Structure 1
């Protein structure tokens, strides 16, 4: 398996010129030359000159440094270290014409090789520098470093003076170790250990492709084509929406989404819901509407006519706009020149209200927005990591792609945006960055003059969003196993706050939701005439992306129907309800209020451990506790019967704890229903 590592490139310009550099005890410099290719001479300017601490003139040709044989060529250095060690940083002293180091790999004491750095050669503005490559702390001991130089596209007499290793607690300690060498200025550039790749000819054509939107499961890619002959209006049609599918090896099966999402005007897509059933579209479709965006629903066969998104106080002074709908369907991020804008398009957020309208846009603040335009927002599945393009933040030329982290729930406090570096960004416009929930690949658009194509790149750890849990499954009728197009809601426990909503496909019952890390969630289902068995998912401490399948049964509401209350929790050995139980009980209150003649039985069950009579008593106490809560919420106690069954009616094997837990439950049985 090919391992992708994240790295951070720190460029440190020396504040002194000429002279030698003192040795630092914290840095282990190379002790032996293992291999050198394309060295200028066998002695002076040879590979062996990189052994030991830096000792050459900075910013000029010096025979005490390695020098490439030709101004335009490729060179390799492999050096060993006397004491194999764990590493957090590799230090390369580029004492003349920096920017041409393109690949760096680490080799452990057993000969295993780990690539940690890969970029294209550039002509740096500094005459000399120290290149500090920050890697995740290695568990292995580094014995050897391989470094590759490429001056073919950036010619010059490149020199390398020294290559060092250090295990440090952050850049501050690296700076301290480098202090004996002079006064430094530090600039940071993030980079990747793999190169971006254009998508295949199924996606990229001789025409312009842009704005990729990847579904959270990474299986479908929505994008737009401009002035393509297959557009609804042919080559005169400015833009249509297309979709491609991933077959496990490549993208293919490209289809124009057709009417009603595409017409002869310019059509664009801003977001797709995790289940693929809701599309956020750019612009108005309804005749006479001036809505800046629209929503369409997929019923399993066709897309509905897009309906306008209604935003309170919406005002955009720019002719351009971008929109993104978060995975939970509750936040709408937009790029507009609205009230309070810093000067051009800024990023704002609106929140969905109970009446279906969206709140007045809130500016994301000074950390994200500048006096120039910020646009193409994409919020990752963790609901915290924001990717966007900017003309205002420092970049490579035109608009670059940046990322920032949301720091709290005000949506106005963000970390300082970081440029994604030259592995992603070019001197032209770079935009429309999208990431799957797994965080394995990012998709984005690069301009090349008149051409525009879609690329992807594997994500290193630094750029990955926080891990999430993707839950997919099927909602079905327990009576006949038929699919149900139910509403699937996930709420946080114990607060009972609705965190997001998905709509199961009415033809298949399939649903997909994404649960961000850090909370305990309950999944509930709603469909007229049915009652669902809720499920809970603990995502408080997940450390990596995961997917699970969980079908959600729904029981037809009729006399004799029995529904298990999976999200009722009691303190062990007692009848005390845990706070996480309240949202489930509130659902029972809602059910009883919606059906005022319904009479139910609350049945309490335990496993088979302990004294049977005590188990019966405990199970009865527990359901009586639930009944009391319902009565306190206004439900007539005469409509609720309680029975303690103890361990008499197991539904799973009592020999094993994981199945025995299924026997500890509360069930609702419908005794009367009209």
Structure 2
């Protein structure tokens, strides 16, 4: 009975706290609003809107920056920001600095007529005589990202840049990173924030408190109440890799939907966040008193631990267990060959969440069918003899799905996307070994297969040195496969330097695609 009384006490504290800080929806429409950012003077709220007909690219536009001004403590009518902050890509404010006279913008600004659709990164615009200048590129050392839904947030003092990326050192989906402003105005190489706050699922939309001690972020990799919840963790030292256990910020802000983009304007007693709860479109923007920071108040917003408590056997017939807030559904997917779209026999399938295997079946039936939590992000691994394995992070939405596996046909080439190296070196970074373990398993399961590895660079620097480096990287991959038991005679390899680009070499973003290691089936 004492566990049940503890739960009632916990819930009553949480309810009292919720009543005292009731959030208010301030922006909501049939479109997706996200990434709220208040101007330094507190008179204007900027945010992004996706797929609005009046956006630069119309209903295909992933985000234009909009604004709404405050007058007599009431918000006015929202309207899109005029040129030059919006173009045809996803536009979003990262942060103001220089006493509000400069602003960082997500992505590099691309003039009309450019041959490149998207260039990930940062741009800066400055206020001159009440007008904003055309944004120009800001460099981030060794910037690398594979996520289309990445985000960045500048600290209140303009010196620290937090990022959500699929980059070096991550396992799974988006992770959190930090970068620091240099004397020339550009930013240092991103540093992974470590596994106290990162999981193999999604950590997104980070925000750093004004004192640089508290990190707020959205995640579906920790125990939560919906699809994505907002968490808080405290920085424990200056390495930026050690953090306190992330605390779910409770029912006050989180719901059965998704919540993200929590931010506190400097010097203010309120905060903004985005939620899908009861939304007409997707995300809506909400305002609330900022969350408490001391340990006494934090007790009111501890995550769903009491919901997981079990009652003693003698009390189980007297008191019902508290209802779980999760909803589940039966996920069904058919696995087919990417070549002829016909169903194939599977060897194994594994579905995992936050490192715990939820389902593992040998020789499973096709279609796949299993019970999953709604809108959570899972790690899916599917194997079939004679096919390249499928391994990816995916959000199951409840709809039936089709999964495509590439056959091990002679001439088929795949890029080893997560085989990555230290800059200018043949030394692989840690994430590469997980990718190469899949190649080892493939070779073991298909003993007649022979492969050719090809190494490629961009065209920057000496062509001779690039050719040598690409060969060294191929040799390093081959040496690891042989070390893991693959017959050396089944592997050939060659470095091509920058002679076989698959994208333009005119900018850093497209050059990244050219720096790759590929695997081709030469015999089966």
TM-score by length of 1: 0.40
2:42 counterpart (218, 225, 231): 218
Question: In the alignment, is the contact (CA less than 8 A) between 1:323 and 1:334 conserved in 2?
Answer: yes
Partners of 2:41 and 2:223 in 1: CA distance? 33
2:102 counterpart (256, 278, 282): 278
Partners of 1:230 and 1:194 in 2: CA distance? 35
Task: String of CA shifts for 1:638-665, please: whole Å, max 9, x gaps.
Answer: xxxxxxxxxxxxxxxxxxxxxxxxxxxx
Cα gap change, 1:357/1:276 in structure 2, threshold over 3 Å: closer, same or farther?
closer
- 1:395 is matched with 224
- 2:207 is matched with 378
Structure 1 position 455, deviation (Å): 0.7
Structure 1 position 319, deviation (Å): 2.9
Question: In the alignment, is the contact (CA less than 8 A) between 2:179 and 2:191 conserved in 1?
Answer: yes
SS in structure 1 at match of 2:273: strand
Structure 1 position 384, deviation (Å): 2.1
- 2:20 is matched with 193
2:52 counterpart (228, 234, 246): 228
Question: In the alignment, is the contact (CA less than 8 A) between 1:216 and 1:438 conserved in 2?
Answer: no
Structure 1 position 228, deviation (Å): 2.3
SS in structure 2 at match of 1:462: coil
Structure 1 position 402, deviation (Å): 0.9
2:280 aligned with 1:456, yes or no? no
2:148 counterpart (298, 319, 322): 319
Cα gap change, 1:285/1:196 in structure 2, threshold over 3 Å: closer, same or farther?
same
Question: In the alignment, is the contact (CA less than 8 A) between 2:95 and 2:154 conserved in 1?
Answer: yes
Partners of 1:238 and 1:339 in 2: CA distance? 25
Structure 1 position 232, deviation (Å): 3.0
Question: In the alignment, is the contact (CA less than 8 A) between 2:14 and 2:251 conserved in 1?
Answer: no
Partners of 1:300 and 1:379 in 2: CA distance? 31
TM-score by length of 2: 0.50
- 1:265 is matched with 89
1:469-618 pair list within 5 angstroms: none
Structure 1 position 221, deviation (Å): 1.3
Partners of 2:221 and 2:266 in 1: CA distance? 28
Flag the structure with larger Rg.
1
Give the number of aligned pairs: 288
Structure 1 position 401, deviation (Å): 0.6
Partners of 1:300 and 1:382 in 2: CA distance? 32
- Identify, as 1 or 2, the structure richer in strand: 1
Cα gap change, 1:297/1:253 in structure 2, threshold over 3 Å: closer, same or farther?
farther
- 2:259 is matched with 430
Structure 1 position 275, deviation (Å): 3.0
- 2:126 is matched with 297
Question: In the alignment, is the contact (CA less than 8 A) between 2:178 and 2:190 conserved in 1?
Answer: yes
1:10-409 pair list within 5 angstroms: 14=2, 94=8, 117-119=16-18, 193-199=20-26, 203-252=27-76, 254-273=78-97, 275-286=99-110, 287=114, 290-409=119-238
Structure 1 position 216, deviation (Å): 4.8
Structure 1 position 195, deviation (Å): 1.4
Question: In the alignment, is the contact (CA less than 8 A) between 1:322 and 1:376 conserved in 2?
Answer: yes
Structure 1 position 396, deviation (Å): 0.8
CA RMSD of aligned residues (A): 2.8
- 2:498 is matched with none
Cα gap change, 1:241/1:421 in structure 2, threshold over 3 Å: closer, same or farther?
same
Structure 1 position 236, deviation (Å): 4.2
Question: In the alignment, is the contact (CA less than 8 A) between 2:226 and 2:254 conserved in 1?
Answer: no
SS in structure 1 at match of 2:78: strand
Question: In the alignment, is the contact (CA less than 8 A) between 2:96 and 2:158 conserved in 1?
Answer: no
- 2:404 is matched with none
